[in-house]
């Protein structure tokens, strides 16, 4: 069952929308508080004006004060369609001179201008304003108080909240749509890359177009292109191997089948023995060619090297011991000169002997009897210099770059061969971070092959192999 994965767009919106909603709610709350502050300030000033107006109705009466509040003025003071208005005029002793309800006193003594405070009347929350009208003596002071319920204020708070929430809802909805669209445009390069990969077949290892990609996507696509380039080199090496193997093995197999047919039609005797020896030689050539093709394929594909200490002297001695019978059969003298105390070489314990064996085998094959092959090994500037010199026909200067190609041989070559030895050696030495050079032998005779390999581990760029 396929698991549905969350899209990048939804993931980004889940991270962006909650903070935006939280900030919007905070902004609405702060704006609501500011609006209510100024609305309450306006109502408080109106309440204070009512207290001053009522205080203006207090007139001197002999030694004291009296309240001159006609019925019409009282009705105007008490009239309010939404709130209930209370007022009272009392002296310091609490005697009521005028009013419709006893009102709570301020929590502090008012001395001077009007004072605003909160209280309750009949269990209802009210806002009060208190003003003091001075008499000739303190006992003759009159305390004028006007109170109103909070209905208008609460109604205004609801209206403010209603009018603010509607535009904010439209704002947040529009912002969410713009975010959805903007995030979609932002991840469009990813969708383009995905479509470019999806429409490819298994043989298309070309790079993905990196033009117009943002920096974050560019880095990822660049890494993918590098991987595809390495895979392309590997696939190309495999294709070359299959083509080369098909081409190179067809002729030896055909020859071998012909020899088998001849043996089957030949009676026992010397001729049959000769044909069997020819078959054995053909099988040996076929096995050597197959092994060389496999070695070349592995080296060109940039296979991971199994890094381990390789003792140079042991490697050289093992290679020489394996090839000395062939050298003796051809009348070739093989000599070895190894510098004492050579440090171990960090490399592949299979490929390095294969590399040296191909070079020494070439030297033995192309040197005529009597001849000699000299193998020399020494350390120089943190590198191993491994040279193989022979007294054969050599390779002309113009051909030295060409003989590293597969199945290319020098024009002076007369012995049988496949033309793979130097190609294999170059791929292996490059895989170890080294190089291979060709030069004339001593006294301009023969060929000298020099391998320069770092003694410390160095891995080359994998994309550079297989070329």
Q: What CA–CA distances, in Å, run from 253 to 242, 248, 259, 285, 407?
A: 16, 9, 10, 10, 18
Give pTM, 2 decimals: 0.47
Measured distance CA(361)–CA(323) in Å, rounded:
7
Measured distance CA(57)–CA(148) in Å, rounded:
19
Residue 54 CA neighbour count, 13 Å, CB half:
32
Q: What is the DSSP string of 374-400?
A: EEEEEEETTEEEEEEEE-S----GGGT
Q: Name the residue among 441, 282, 449, 289 with its Cα closest to residue 377.
A: 449
Q: Are strands 383-390 and 447-454 parallel, antiparallel or unpaired?
A: antiparallel
Q: What is the DSSP string of 420-452?
A: -HHHHHHHHHHHTT-EEEEEE-GGG-SEEEEEE
Residue 258 CA neighbour count, 13 Å, CB half:
8
CB 84 within 8 A of CB 147: no
Digit-by-digit pLDDT tens for the chain (467 residues) are 455 666 677 777 788 888 888 888 888 888 878 888 888 888 888 888 888 888 777 776 655 566 777 777 777 777 788 888 898 888 777 787 787 878 888 877 766 677 889 999 888 999 999 888 876 656 667 888 899 998 888 888 888 878 878 888 888 888 888 888 888 877 777 778 888 888 877 777 788 888 877 777 788 888 888 888 888 877 776 777 676 666 556 666 777 788 788 888 787 878 888 888 878 877 876 776 677 667 666 666 555 567 788 999 999 999 999 899 889 988 999 999 999 988 888 888 888 888 898 889 888 988 888 899 999 999 988 899 999 999 888 888 888 887 877 666 665 555 555 667 788 788 888 888 899 999 988 777 889 999 999 987 554 444 443 33
Q: How far from chain centre, in Å, is Cα 11?
A: 17
Q: What is the DSSP string of 48-81?
A: HHHHHHHHTTEEEETTEEEE---HHHHHHHH--S
Q: Name the residue among 422, 421, 431, 418 with its Cα closest to residue 459.
A: 431
3-class DSSP state of 177: helix
Q: Alpha-carbon torsion 275, 418, 407, 442, what sign?
A: negative
Q: What does the DSSP 8-state code read for residue 369?
A: S
């Amino acid at each position: 069952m396929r698991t549905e994965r969350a899209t990048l767009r939804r993931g980004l919106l889940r991270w962006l929308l909650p903070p935006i909603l939280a900030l919007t709610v905070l902004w609405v709350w702060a704006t609501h508080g500011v609006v209510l502050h100024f609305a309450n300030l306006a109502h408080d000033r109106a309440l204070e004006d009512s207290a001053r107006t009522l205080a203006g109705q207090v007139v001197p009466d002999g030694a004291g004060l009296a309240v001159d509040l006609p019925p019409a003025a009282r009705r105007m003071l008490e009239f309010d369609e939404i709130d209930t208005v209370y007022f009272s005029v009392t002296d310091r002793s609490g005697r009521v001179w005028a009013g419709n309800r006893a009102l709570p006193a301020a929590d502090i003594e008012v001395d001077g201008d009007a004072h605003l405070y909160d209280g309750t009347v009949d269990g209802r929350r009210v806002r009060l304003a208190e003003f003091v009208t001075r008499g000739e003596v303190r006992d003759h002071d009159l305390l004028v108080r006007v109170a109103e319920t909070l209905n208008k204020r609460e109604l205004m708070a609801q209206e403010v909240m209603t009018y603010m929430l509607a535009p904010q809802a439209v704002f947040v909805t529009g912002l969410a749509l713009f975010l959805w669209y903007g995030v979609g445009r932002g991840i469009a390069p990813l969708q383009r890359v995905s479509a470019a990969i999806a429409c490819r077949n298994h043989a298309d290892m070309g790079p993905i177009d990196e033009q117009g990609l943002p920096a974050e996507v560019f880095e990822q696509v660049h890494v993918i292109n590098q991987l595809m380039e390495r895979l392309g080199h590997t696939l190309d090496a495999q294709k070359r191997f299959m083509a080369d193997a098909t081409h190179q093995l067809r002729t030896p197999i055909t020859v071998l089948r012909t020899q088998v047919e001849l043996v089957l039609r030949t009676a026992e005797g010397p001729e049959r023995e000769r044909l069997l020896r020819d078959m054995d030689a053909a099988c040996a050539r076929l096995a050597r060619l197959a092994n060389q093709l496999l070695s070349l394929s592995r080296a060109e594909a940039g296979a991971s090297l199994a890094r381990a200490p390789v003792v140079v002297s042991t490697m050289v001695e093992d290679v020489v011991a394996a090839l000395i019978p062939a050298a003796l059969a051809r009348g070739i003298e093989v000599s070895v000169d190894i510098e004492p105390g050579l440090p171990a070489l960090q490399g592949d314990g299979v490929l390095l002997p294969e590399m040296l064996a191909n070079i020494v085998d070439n030297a033995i094959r192309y040197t005529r009897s009597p001849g000699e092959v000299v193998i020399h090994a020494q350390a120089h500037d943190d590198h191993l210099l491994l040279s193989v010199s022979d007294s054969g026909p050599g390779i002309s200067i113009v051909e030295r770059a060409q003989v590293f190609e597969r199945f290319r041989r020098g024009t002076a070559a007369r012995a049988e061969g496949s033309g793979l030895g130097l190609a294999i050696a170059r791929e292996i030495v490059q895989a170890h971070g080294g190089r291979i050079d060709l030069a004339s032998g001593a006294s301009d005779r023969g060929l000298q092959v020099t391998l320069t390999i770092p003694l410390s581990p160095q891995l080359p760029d994998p994309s550079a192999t297989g070329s």
